Chains A and B, each alone.
Chain A
């Protein structure tokens, strides 16, 4: 509750109708999105509950990252709405959108650290841009955030000197630098060794609890996500194939979800990409 009041104060937006916390901080309603001829989402509906860690899972290429881009309006849907805290984000002008984005922290898949700045300056960057805090206080905040991810000692290294796991942790420190209300993780576990992965999983849970924020984790790493997620969506074929707690998803009857959750090679998601008949193609009978 405190967290939400803090957000409302910061945004200068009405504290939502009755002054109560909205159950669903983010709602995706009847959303369609295509890239060229390819339909990514068709009539997609989902909600992200306030204070929860919500996982968005699904096979590769189903549009998980695209969904994050739609939620943060880096992309605009062809149809439908993305509602954040009761506001359809398509109606926001540039200034309002940027004000909303100050409430988001995003951990990009590759970290996306600014390569011409040190680790310290990367974490200080959003604070310098959006506040007028004195340097001494910024230093205090940055070192606190870096300490939280265990990289206070790396404050003056450049991004090129960091390992993949360290870069991801610095990016996490930067994402929480402004104490966001929503923290978005885009494939946070990809390419990490087991130790780094364990660290990120632990940080993810700790940050969500300590800062009382809402987290969205996009991943296809079923087991690690299941360890931290309160609720999960499985996206496939442009829509929600299944939704529930990780335990519920494991019990589902859906063949597709079963295949995904248990990592089965055979199932509705085929091994082969759509292709003409193998024999015909080898014999040159197929035009492709």
Chain B
């Protein structure tokens, strides 16, 4: 049993090291890819970002609505329902917005990236590129990585804005909180540091989600089952990593 644990741990370290090296290679290639293959990067921003907009916007509306509802029902007991905006604002900007956006990103765009790259590998398309002296890391991996990294903060901003609107709809339009109080209280409490925390989280989550998705696809076993497993791993690993980094960044900003 100890031997199995040792082998599993060794394998984990090996994979983790290989993934770190892969990310370093991607980061080092980023400037040249950004300049020379800007079209590919722009397409991947559309692919990972624009195509995720619908799910992000709908989710943002409902998450904001629930937040407004819960904040109102809790604060009402202390006659503090006018501060619902603070709850919604802080919750969405600092925590829920970046986290749920990252989890939705992993489920929508991350899985798509992994399965696309995995299938390219399974059908020898990556090998064909290598043999045409075109580095698949630069042509396939880095543009997708950058597309995700650029998309995530934009999606987070949209999710948060729609979430605040959803909370407004519930708290102000449905439950009768004063509109001036809702926005004024939020504006008074939220400062630049809170927004900076949200942006930091979204950038870190973007790097985490995109690198995991691209790595899993690139490193998948080139079979139908292998691609399926890699896609599942993308969601699991990204979710755990996002929640871990969320805790770390929150603690860092306190």
Contact = CB atoms under 8 A, between A and B. Distances in A.
B131 A104 contact: yes
B130 interface: yes
A74 B130 contact: yes
B133 A101 contact: yes
14 contacts: A74-B127, A74-B130, A98-B135, A101-B133, A106-B131, A108-B127, A110-B124, A112-B125, A113-B125, A114-B129, A115-B123, A126-B133, A129-B134, A130-B133
Interface string B125-141: 10111111111000000
7 A-B pairs with the lowest CB-CB distances in the bound complex, closest first: A112-B128, A112-B124, A98-B133, A101-B133, A106-B131, A126-B132, A102-B133
A145 to B, nearest CB: 14
A72 interface: yes
Contacts, number: 45
Interface string B110-149: 0000000000100111011111111100000000000000
B246 to A, nearest CB: 34
A126 B139 CA distance: 12
A99 interface: yes
B252 to A, nearest CB: 38
Contact of B125 (A99, A114, A178): A114
Contact of B127 (A102, A112, A178): A112
A168 B130 CA distance: 18
Interface in A87-125: 98-99, 101-102, 104, 106, 108-110, 112-115, 125
A231 to B, nearest CB: 23
Given A101-B133, A112-B124, 10 more contacts: A72-B131, A99-B133, A101-B131, A102-B133, A104-B131, A109-B124, A112-B125, A114-B129, A115-B123, A126-B134
Contacts of B124: 108-110, 112
Q: How large is the interface on B (under 10, 10 to 19, 20 to 34, 35 or more residues)?
A: 10 to 19
Contacts of A102: 133
Interface residues of A, number: 21
Interface in A120-158: 125-126, 129-130
A101 B125 contact: no
A275 B163 CA distance: 64
Contacts of A174: 132
Contacts of B133: 98-99, 101-102, 126, 129-130
Contact of A108 (B120, B128, B134): B128
Interface in A67-100: 72, 74, 98-99
A248 to B, nearest CB: 31
A104 B134 CA distance: 12
Interface in A230-249: none
B89 to A, nearest CB: 42
B134 A112 contact: no
A211 B34 CA distance: 37
A130 B129 CA distance: 12
Given A74-B130, A101-B130, A106-B128, A112 B135 contact: no
B95 to A, nearest CB: 37
Contacts of B135: 98
Nearest to A100: B133
B132 A101 contact: yes
Residue of A74, A99, A106 with highest tally of chain B CB at under 10 A: A106
Residue of B123, B133, B135 with highest tally of chain A CB at under 10 A: B133
